Structure formats: C-alpha cells, structure tokens
Amino acid sequence: MNEPETRPSDVAAEELEDRRPSDPGVQPGPTEEGLAVATRSQRRMIVRRFLQHRLAVISLVILVLLIVGSLVGGRLWRYGYAEQLPEFNQSPSWGHPMGIDAIGRDLLAKVLRGAQRSVQVALLVALLSTTIGTIVGAVAGYYRGVLDAVLMRVTDLFLVVPQLAVFLLLARIVGGGWFQLSLIIAAFFWMPIARIVRAEFLSLRETEYVDAARALGAGDLRIILRHLIPNAIGSIIVNASIVVAVAILAETSLSYLGLGIAAPDTSLGLLVSEGQSAFETRPYLFYFPGLLIVLIALTVNFVGDGLRDAFDPKQSRARR
Amino acid sequence: MRPTEPGSPVLAVEDLVVSFPTDDGVVDAVRGVSWELSPGRVLGVVGESGSGKSVTANAIMGLLPASATISGSARFQGEELLDQDDRELAALRGSRLAMIFQDPMTSLNPVYRVGWQISEAVRLHDDVSKADARGRAIELLDLVGIPDASERVDNYPHELSGGMRQRVVIAIAMANEPEVIIADEPTTALDVTVQAQVLDALATAREAAHAAMVLITHDLGVVAGSADDVVVMYAGRAVEVGSVDDVFYIPRHPYTLGLLGSLPRMDASEARRLTPIGGVPPSMIGLAERCQFAPRCPLATDICWTEEPELERTEGGTHRSACHHWRSLRGVEDPSEVFTPVDVHGADDGAGAR
C-alpha cells in the first residue's frame, strides 16, 4: 500500500491550508500530493485495493465472461438447447465443440443454457437471502431485547432443520421451475447473513455517530438505512458473494437429485446428472458441465476474497 | 407548553436523578442535580470522570439506554423533555436542541462526505433542496473556520484532522440555528494546541446562532475562558454553583478549591506547588448518607460523615455551595492553606523506602 494515502491525513489537511490554490479553477496536478490525497474517495480506495488482488481480478474477468457468454452465447450459438439433431453420441469436434449427447442435442448449447439458469438461480438466491438476512439481522441487532431473542431463535431453527429433507419436500410441493427453486434455496440461505449483520449492528449501534444522528433528530429507520447499513455493507457484500458460490452448488445438487430444474430446461446440475450415466464411455458429457460448475464456484469465491480484502484495509496490508 | 416570560431559563434541570442497574448493584450516576441556563449564556459543567456530567447531558437529550431510571425534570422553553418519547424528541433534537460529542473521530459517520452529513442535519428539519442544503453546508464550514470550505465539503471525515473534524461536528450542531447547544467535552479529544481554535470556532458559531450553551468539561481552563456560570459536580451532585468569577475567585467548596489548587498556572507571579486532592472519588454504588467528599476533605468533621449537605446560598447572590463548612473558606487565598502541597522533587511518599 502506498502509505501517505491511508494514514490519518492531519498532515495532508495542514498542507492543504498552506497550499490554497490561487486559482480555484486549477485542477490538482500530480505534483500536488496533498490535494490528490484529499480528493480520493472511499469508493476509489476500495476499487484500488480490489484491483491489487490479482487472483480476484482475474476471477472477476472470467466470471463476467462466463455470465455474459452464457447469456449472449446461448442466443448466438447455431444450435438450440432443445434442438434435436440427426446425429447423436458424437465426440467433441469443430462443429460441436462439446460433442452431442445420446439423444442428439448439442452439448455446448445445453451447457450455455444450463450455466445461464444456474447463474440466474444463484444471483436471485444471493439477492433474496441477503435482503432477508440483512433485514432480520438489522432489526435484531438494532432493537435487541425480546425482538432480538425471537428473531435469533427463528434463525437457529432454520439452521438446525435438516435442509436437504426440507428442500426435497418443498421442491415436490412447489414444483421445479428455476424461480421456485431460487425461493426454496433462498429460504435456507439467509441465516449466516442475519447473524453477521446482527453482530455488526450490535457494535455499530454503540458508536457515537449513531448517538450523534439521533441527537440530530434522525429516526430509527433512517439510522438503520442511512447510517448503519452503509457501515456494514462490506461484510454484507462479501457474504452475498459467498452465497452465490454456495447457491450454485445447492442448485446443482437439487437438480442432480431431480428436484430442481427439469427437462426440457436444463441446468449445470442436471447436465452432470445426465452425463454421469455415460461416464465410462463418453466422459466429456460429464466433464464439461462439471468443470464449469467448479470454475464458477471457484471464481466467485476468489472475487469474494478480493472484496473482503478491499473492504478491510488492515487485512490487505498485512498480506502485502 | 408553558409560556416563557422574558428572562426565564431556556433550559432548566430540576432535581434530576439517574440510576443504572448493573451486575454489582444500582449505580446512582446523577443524584438530584438542578441548574438553569438563561438565553444566550454559557453554563460550564465541571467535574471529574464519573461525576455525572455526561449522564446529565444524555438524559436531557434522551440518549440514555432504556435500562436507565430517570426522575426529576428537564424543561426546554418550559416544555418537559423527560416524558417525551423518541418520536416527539426527534422534532426538537438537532433543530432547537443540538449536541456536540466528545470525540470527532467517532461522532462523524466514516462512510459519508462531511457535506452530506451537514446537509442531512439541515434536511432532517428543513424541506430544502439538496443543492441549497449543500450551499448551507459550505456556509457553515466557512463559519466554523474551515479553509476552502467549498472543497472541504466533499471530504470524508478520515481526510480531515481532529480539529477540522470537530469543526465539522460544530457545523452540524449549528445547522438549524438551535436555541441550546449541549457540548459534551468538545475539546477533550483534541491536542492542546487545537483546543483553543476549536473553542473559538464554537464561540463564533454560537454567537452567530444566538444560542445558549451547556459546556461540559473537566478542564477548568476551558470553563474559565468560555463560560458565564459554572456548576461543579462531584459524585452525581452539584457541589458548587455560581458565576465564573465567584466560583474561581471565592470558591466556597473545598472540592472546587482543591481543583483550582491542582491546576498548574502560567500566570502566577511566583513558583507555586500544586496541591492535589488526596484519595479517589467514591464508587457510585450504594452511597452512604454523608458528604461524599468527606473522605478526601481536609475540613471534614463529624457532621460531614452523617449528613449530606444541601446546596445553600453563600454570601454572594447566586453563589451556592453544598458544604457544611463553607464559611471556614472565607479569607482563604491559596489552596495550600487547606490542602497539603505535593513535594515536586521527591514526588511520592515511598521516597524514604528507597
């Protein structure tokens, strides 16, 4: 890290007092270190620190390419995912880079479609569970007392319920669309976020700027939304990224068990499940979607890692 | 709301009692404090840590935790504050009654630009556009002496020095031209060199808003320089009340005298030994019926150990003291006549053992 940017800027502030630009229109040039420091915003610092985490940046690029590729590629690729071709059981070739499966469908088209569905599910799960978790954790941590006790016991209850059994039950009841699947998964993914947000709030609510905001006449809702959540946003984002990775795996497992997304639609989990029956003879049917799952989960994790470092300056400095 | 006749106090605290339950017992943080703040005046509240200064302030602002038991009264413009709930108080707080906190490092939200935070204060009570609020923020930053206010408005708190941050806090408190400002140790967290500048900024801003101020501090120097009236607190009670001149020049409570004696003075014509007050302040749990200062008081007699003195009028008009023996302080010029001076060179009693 570049030291002058991060240390308390008393020096910078004093420097500034001496160096009032004579012309207010003059932009701070590279030589005016003090001004350059003063204008650097928190957001840019975070972006800067994230960019220093090389693995996270590479992962982010790959992830974005995968997501955009699956969304756009599915439309552009010359075969549809449900399209029946005259050939079947073809090994990868130039015409069909991932081969053709036993009933004559182009595997690349299916993988693109599957990745799209899986990513869709994962992002929706992350959004829903982060929202639920943040609300529950914020209310519990801010109001404490009975409300906190009730909400946290509910959280505990959700944590101890055998999730797979409930997934199976719910999937049977609500059916197998990708949207329903996301709801089911999200219903069991918000608890860690609720706990983390609650812990953050318990400590943040004691800070003086919360008292100061209240002394200014701010109400509870405003304090929670405008003062506490922005200060906890680092851990919320980081945990949301972790949820994305775990949700992809959850979707995969459920679809693999035949309880998630059902044919003719497809997902990566479903493809793995379909491909494993021919694992001995045509392993590529299994490997391509499988590798994609690993790649997505891995890159999301690295991005989350990078985000955590970016939001926590102490950790990132210790590493370098 | 009671009509406020001219000259009546803008803020009046009467027999305020605050206690907190703890694992060790009930802490009686404030035990019957009364004072009045007149419009446009500055009331200094002095006392050591744990004497109940800040608890009094937080009780007035309604910022005490729910576990606190509060009784007595605190009236703002004749309006009782203690029985209002958060929602009712929110309308007063920040607009007519503002508070400045001790530590500018923690009382500003680290994730927002200072301009946003001042604008928030303005917009919470005044329906103005964002641009107008920003203009007002720049105006306020200029008022509290921040150079290049129009650029500083876009800084984050961490980009400013401690003194600058406290100026921002003052600007926020001034945003709606309150009638009363409660400043809870506004300079304690700052370097001595910056303290005077911040106090100046505070005085300028206060005069611009024609506000009255309660200045809570443990620094007698700050009070001497800024306040009109003084309340000296000890163990949750006011032990001496009066104008600054009365309290500083003719102290009528041995605790005040001791505080003055333990203050190094630069204006003394000859070298003077400091006269510290021996002992420590009492634990605030289960206080016995006695003068709480008695164990540390060189004047203490039997009555001090059985009866807690009430504030009573001394010779000056508004000057009051809670001491059985205030009369024996008449004619005392120097604290060393009552307290034992410390030996500067062999500072501790253990010197002989070496």
The answer to whether the CB atoms of A13 and B164 lie below 8 A apart is yes
Structure tokens at A26: 């003059």
Q: Which of B89, B101, B154 shows the shortest C-beta gap to A211?
A: B101
With a cut of 80, say whether residue B348 has pLDDT above it: no
The verdict on whether omega for the bond into residue A283 sits within 30 degrees of 0, i.e. cis, is no
DSSP string, B184-236: ESTTTTS-HHHHHHHHHHHHHHHHHHT-EEEEEES-HHHHHHH-SEEEEEETT
Q: Are A230 and B111 in contact (CB under 8 A)?
A: yes
pLDDT at A45: 78
With a cut of 90, say whether residue B272 has pLDDT above it: no
- What average pLDDT score do residues A254-259 get? 78
**Minimum CA–CA partner of B181 in chain A:** A215
The answer to whether the CB atoms of A10 and B120 lie below 8 A apart is no
Q: Tell me: the pLDDT tens digits for A288-309?
A: 888 888 888 889 888 888 888 8
Structure tokens at A126: 């992350």
DSSP state of A225: I
Distance CA A55, CA A74 (A): 28
Shortest distance between the Cα of B64 and any Cα of chain A, in A, equals 10
Shortest distance between the Cα of A22 and any Cα of chain B, in A, equals 11
Average pLDDT in chain A:
78
**Chain A residues within an 8 Å CB radius of B91:** 217
In terms of C-beta density within 10 A (0-12 exposed, 13-18 middle, 19 or more buried), how is residue A26 classed?
Answer: exposed
Distance CA A313, CA A3 (A): 12
Q: Tell me: the pLDDT tens digits for A86-130?
A: 777 777 777 777 777 767 777 788 888 888 888 888 889 999 999
Residue B74 β-bridge partners: B13
With a cut of 70, say whether residue A315 has pLDDT above it: no
With a cut of 50, say whether residue A22 has pLDDT above it: no
With a cut of 80, say whether residue A38 has pLDDT above it: no
Q: Are B248 and B224 in contact (CB under 8 A)?
A: yes
Average pLDDT in chain B:
86
pLDDT at A26: 41
pLDDT at B7: 65
Q: Are B255 and B241 in contact (CB under 8 A)?
A: no
**Minimum CA–CA partner of A10 in chain B:** B161
* Percentage above 90 pLDDT, chain A: 18
Q: Are B17 and B174 in contact (CB under 8 A)?
A: no
**Chain B residues within an 8 Å CB radius of A226:** 120
User: Is the complex ipTM more than 0.95?
Assistant: no
Structure tokens at B181: 């400002």
With a cut of 50, say whether residue A14 has pLDDT above it: no
Distance CA B166, CA B171 (A): 9
**Chain A residues within an 8 Å CB radius of B92:** 217
Label residue B104 by pLDDT band (50, 70, 90).
Answer: confident
State the amino acid at position B104 in one-letter form: P
Q: Tell me: the pLDDT tens digits for A49-90?
A: 888 888 889 999 998 988 888 888 777 777 777 777 777 777
pTM reported for the whole predicted model = 0.75
Helix ranges (H only) for chain A are 3-6, 10-18, 33-39, 42-52, 54-76, 107-143, 145-160, 163-174, 178-186, 191-204, 208-215, 220-222, 229-256, 268-276, 284-311, 313-319
Q: Tell me: the pLDDT tens digits for B41-57?
A: 999 999 888 888 889 99
Residue B132: partners with Cβ closer than 8 Å, 6 or more residues away: none
Nearest CA among B177, B243, B206, B222 for reference residue B35: B243
Give Cα A242 distance to the centre of its chain.
6
pLDDT at B71: 92
Neighbours of B102 (CB within 10 A): 21
